């Protein structure tokens, strides 16, 4: 089992500190979301305040915010690399979930119209049409439930991995 990452943002999202003990991959993923959110806010500060009307009061120091953006981006990169390395064993599970979700989307779009159907009120020229569905509504519902159950099983395996694997990001100065 590998050591895990440790970076935390304060409630205000401003102060970051290094956690010296290993943390779970699940916690690292939560921290990554917080760091991404902080990076997004810094990006907005730089973009929104770089050019202002001459004579207006500048809300933030754009140069300072850009330096902080670069520092937080480096932290995020290190965190993503550490998470990626320790997620390699579950990548097949993650990829399978994506494929099963694609199957569910396909099934959801599948027409289950079966039997004689009258034309729409806007199509008075054609007569009734007879449809034959290979997969009926009950079949589609069963395939969807089976696929969702597969996703649940895969997600439990991923969650177990994320809760037990520990990682550490070395040498972060935050």
Taking the CA atoms of 150, 152, 153 and 159 in sequence, report the sign of the dihedral they define: positive
**Beta-bridge mates of residue 17:** 8
Residue 88: half-sphere exposure toward Cβ, Cα within 13 Å: 7
Question: What is the pLDDT, as a whole number, of residue 92?
Answer: 98
Q: What is the pLDDT of residues 49-79, one digit of tens each?
A: 999 999 998 889 999 999 999 999 999 998 9
Mean pLDDT over each residue of the chain, to the nearest integer: 87
Residue 18, Cβ neighbours under 10 Å: how many?
16
Question: What is the pLDDT, as a whole number, of residue 125?
Answer: 74
Q: Where are the domains of the chain?
A: 7-167
Q: What is the pLDDT of residues 7-33, one digit of tens each?
A: 444 434 455 566 677 889 999 999 999
Q: What is the pLDDT of residues 75-134, one digit of tens each?
A: 999 899 999 999 999 999 999 999 999 999 999 999 999 999 887 777 667 778 899 999
Question: What is the pLDDT, as a whole number, of residue 14?
Answer: 54
């Amino acid at each position: 089992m590998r050591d895990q990452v440790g970076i935390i943002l304060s409630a205000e999202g401003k102060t970051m500190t290094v956690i010296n003990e290993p943390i779970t991959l699940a916690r690292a993923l939560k921290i990554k979301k917080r760091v991404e959110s902080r990076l997004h806010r810094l990006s907005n500060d730089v973009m929104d305040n770089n050019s202002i009307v001459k004579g207006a009061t500048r809300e933030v120091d754009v140069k300072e915010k850009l330096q902080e953006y670069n520092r937080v981006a480096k932290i995020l990169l290190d965190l993503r690399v550490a998470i990626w390395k320790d997620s390699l064993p579950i990548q097949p599970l993650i990829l399978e979930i994506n494929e099963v979700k694609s199957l569910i989307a396909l099934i959801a779009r599948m027409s289950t119209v079966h039997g004689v159907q009258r034309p729409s009120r806007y199509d008075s020229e054609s007569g009734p049409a007879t449809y034959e569905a290979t997969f009926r509504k009950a079949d589609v519902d069963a395939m969807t439930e089976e696929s969702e159950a597969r996703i649940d099983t895969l997600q439990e395996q991923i969650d177990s991995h994320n809760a037990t694997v520990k990682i550490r990001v070395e040498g972060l100065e935050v």
